[in-house]
Amino acid sequence: MELERQELDAFTGQSFPGEQDGSATEIFEHRESAVRSYCRTWPKVFDRAVGSWLYDEDGRAYLDFFTGASALNYGHNNAALKRALLDYLAADRVIHSLDMHTVAKREFLTAFDELILQPRQLNYRVQFPGPGGTNAIEAALKLARKVTGRTEVITFTNGFHGMTLGALAMTGSKFHRDGAGVPLPHGIPVPFGCRLDAGNPDSPGLERLLQNGVAGLGEVAAVIVETVQGEGGINAAPLEWLSGLADLCQRQGVLLIVDDVQMGCGRTGPFFSFEAAGIKPDIVCLSKSIGGYGLPLALTLIRPDLDIWKPGEHNGTFRGINPAFVTGTAALRVYWRDKVLEESTLAKGEHVAAALTELAGSVPGTAMQPRGRGLARGLAFEDPELAAKVSAAAFERGLLVEKAGPKDEVIKLLPPLTATDSEIDEGLAILADAVQTVC
Ligand SMILES: Cc1ncc(COP(=O)(O)O)c(C=O)c1O
């Protein structure tokens, strides 16, 4: 009834009682689904964005240490990527082409092959599964089951893999799982960082689980893991644990899927987050920053002998929009032809880690724990309310930092990898001020 009235008022040009002055966010509150979320954390209307900065419609600047949850590793409207995109658009090049061959796709695959796969001695077929990270996960899960003929997948507590039903079944968050409305079977959760050996019957390890199977469940097709859990609270798996996990999977004939949707594309330093562990997963999922510019693109990388898809067996309309190939190619050519970005990310990451360690020790009586790898960093609070207050206080001071973890108890810092040293220091100073004020 209220909506009909509002529509009528809009049509007749009359104002809607109580809303004459027109709040800037009114249309979102009335028309957009209740499911919207980040806009509740940062209730402003944003308009422009350059590099590490977002601007609201009143022109106020915010330092962005959220970066679309790592979808903007090269910053907002990165000049080199924008040039490539504008040139492409100006010349009426192909935008949408399903999975037909295009020059833009050829250039992307060539750059990915030359700059990413070959130098790392990685040999993967590239599947474009659909635009989001969750699409990359769905394709990986389907393929792992198809190849092995098995159903179960080992997942880790607090893992996050996406919202479509297959990926959601691998996701730990009860809040998100409850949204499914149907059972979410075929994921076997085990503790992140669990013991990997067989252990003993009282304290079994993952090897025992894989050897003996799980009562009432089918056999295990794959293990899916994030090397650093992003949404789960910036939990960095020890590198030796990751290499032990890869060895175990190989010994047991179980496929290893690394979900590098959030931690890939240089977030932890190297292009792939698993490089530091010296492992070669069977399947890798990428999305977020692979398109470079915030344009949707996802990749499922497949060990060649596992690529048993029949043509068109897994499809979808948006499996690689060409503008994302163009900006993705530009990002690879600008940032991944040498080690400069990787090394600067590692150095900046160490700097942030040191600052967080100092901050964590600076407030007597408030327990805080710094975490992370590369430029994926977190500050965990014992009390989730403090994390919420710190995030809000940082926002008031012009810094976007999101919360993560099972209770939203971790302040998550994902600055652009291209942020300058002074921008990093400015963000850290705002965070320190927010922590000191709140705690
Ligand atoms: C590790 C990981 N996997 C998968 C996803 C799902 O990606 P998308 O939201 O693009 O579907 C996310 C999203 O945050 C993620 O962090």
Residue 60 CA to ligand 1 center (angstroms) comes to 29
For the CA of 230, the nearest atom of ligand 1? 16
Residue 7 CA to ligand 1 center (angstroms) comes to 36
Does the Cβ of 419 fall within 6 Å of ligand 1? no
State the Cα–Cα distance between residues 368 and 383, nearest whole angstrom.
Answer: 9
> What are phi and psi for residue 311, nearest 5 degrees?
-55, 125
Does the Cβ of 133 fall within 6 Å of ligand 1? yes
Does the Cβ of 348 fall within 6 Å of ligand 1? no
Residue 260 CA to ligand 1 center (angstroms) comes to 9
State the Cα–Cα distance between residues 43 and 55, nearest whole angstrom.
Answer: 13
Which pLDDT does position 214 carry in this prediction?
66
Chain centroid offset of residue 149 CA? 29
Residues near 25 by beta carbon (within 8 Å), at least 6 away in sequence: 39, 43, 45
Q: Which helix (H) or strand (E) segment is 421 a member of?
A: helix 421-438
Strand boundaries in 102-174, DSSP class E? 125-127, 152-156
Spell out, as residue ranges, where the chain has pLDDT lower than 50.
1-22
CB atoms < 10 A from the CB of 255, how many? Answer: 24
Does the Cβ of 160 fall within 6 Å of ligand 1? yes
Does the Cβ of 231 fall within 6 Å of ligand 1? yes
Which pLDDT does position 216 carry in this prediction?
63
Residue 199 CA to ligand 1 center (angstroms) comes to 33
Does the Cβ of 162 fall within 6 Å of ligand 1? yes
pTM score, whole prediction:
0.94
Which pLDDT does position 209 carry in this prediction?
87
Residue with tokens 């994926």: 376
Which pLDDT does position 17 carry in this prediction?
37
Residue with tokens 């806009």: 39
Residue 20 CA to ligand 1 center (angstroms) comes to 40
